[in-house]
């Protein structure tokens, strides 16, 4: 892990002591610097989760981003290099789920421990949504005000032996479910399998359409297929439909800072 290169990429020049303040600063710096995008799965390419490949794509190449497995694998490596203890967790995405839906665990998030701190923190830089955490939340912390967002972490009904937690975001005047998880450890080989399925299955939303998200302190940009949305921190949003692939590439470059790769031959 080239920690200096990673910190330069996300524009972080602060303290490197592994504590809660450093973790919070790193999470925001990463989210603001590196966009969420699924351009590789959308063109039929399964992204590599090897650290060298992630460094090349997300750090050394400043014109690309990645999706959750890429972001959080890279982020976890950086946190370990700084002295944090990391447990990989898998979540069930609940955004858009109907009552009674049982979705598989396909989202990667992290549980982090810092030296001389009895708390454990949920941190996540790879949830490309307006409901994404901007700051870490303590595993036993009920609510945080991660301006301009708010989040709750509660306990929900689960049939297994482990407590099932649910992350909720305050959106459009109400609390909305984002994802659920337990603290059961997952490992890199588990996410290799999940990554392959999500990137290649025709049933996966990430293999069938382009989805890109770029978060700034004062606004969030989203591209869903050809729908381009600019959402301001005050909740107002403007949408427009892009005309064709050429305009999509232009918007990716000019608004998101992403140079789209050529379609897979």
- Helix 68-82 vs helix 188-200: crossing angle, to nearest 10: 160
177: its two tokens: 């479910």
CB distance 69 to 57 below 8 Å: no
Q: What CA–CA distance (Å, rounded) separates 54 from 77?
A: 10
For residues 190 and 84, what is the distance between their CA atoms, to the nearest angstrom? 21
Distance CA 221, CA 204 (A): 22
HSE-CB of 163 using CA atoms within 13 angstroms: 7
Report the alpha-carbon distance of residue 64 to residue 260 in Å, rounded: 8
Catalytic sites, residue numbers:
68, 107, 124
Could you write out the DSSP letters of every residue in 68-95? HHHHHHHHHHHHHHHT-EEEEEEEEE-T
CA torsion 142-69-213-23 (nearest 10°) is 50
Q: Which two tokens stand for residue 189?
A: 């080989």
Residue 19: exposed, middle, or buried by beta-carbon count in 10 A (0-12, 13-18, 19+)? middle
Task: Give which of 217, 190, 251, 238 is closest to 39, Cα–Cα.
Answer: 251
């Amino acid at each position: 892990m080239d920690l200096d290169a990673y910190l330069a990429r996300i524009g972080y020049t602060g303290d490197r002591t592994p504590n809660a303040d450093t973790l919070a600063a790193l999470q925001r710096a990463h989210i603001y610097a590196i966009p969420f995008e699924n351009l590789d799965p959308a063109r039929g390419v399964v992204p590599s989760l090897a650290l060298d490949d992630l460094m090349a794509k997300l750090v050394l190449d400043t014109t690309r981003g990645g999706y959750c497995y890429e972001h959080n694998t890279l982020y976890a490596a950086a946190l370990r290099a700084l002295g944090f203890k990391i447990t990989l967790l898998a979540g069930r995405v609940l955004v858009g789920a109907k009552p009674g839906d049982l979705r598989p665990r396909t989202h990667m998030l992290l549980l982090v421990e810092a030296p001389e701190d009895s708390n454990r923190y949920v941190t996540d830089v790879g949830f490309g949504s307006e409901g994404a955490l901007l700051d870490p939340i303590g595993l036993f912390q009920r609510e945080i005000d991660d301006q301009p967002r708010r989040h709750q972490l509660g306990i929900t009904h689960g049939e297994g032996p482990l407590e099932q937690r649910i992350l909720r975001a305050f959106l459009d005047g109400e609390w909305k479910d984002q994802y659920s998880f337990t603290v059961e450890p997952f490992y890199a080989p588990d996410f290799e399998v999940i990554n392959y399925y999500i990137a290649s299955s025709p049933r996966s939303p990430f293999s069938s359409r382009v989805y890109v998200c770029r978060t700034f302190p004062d606004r969030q940009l989203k591209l869903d297929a050809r729908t381009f949305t600019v959402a301001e921190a005050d909740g107002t949003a403007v949408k427009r439909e892009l005309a064709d692939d050429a305009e999509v590439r232009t918007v990716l470059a000019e608004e998101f800072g992403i140079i789209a790769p050529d379609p897979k031959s």
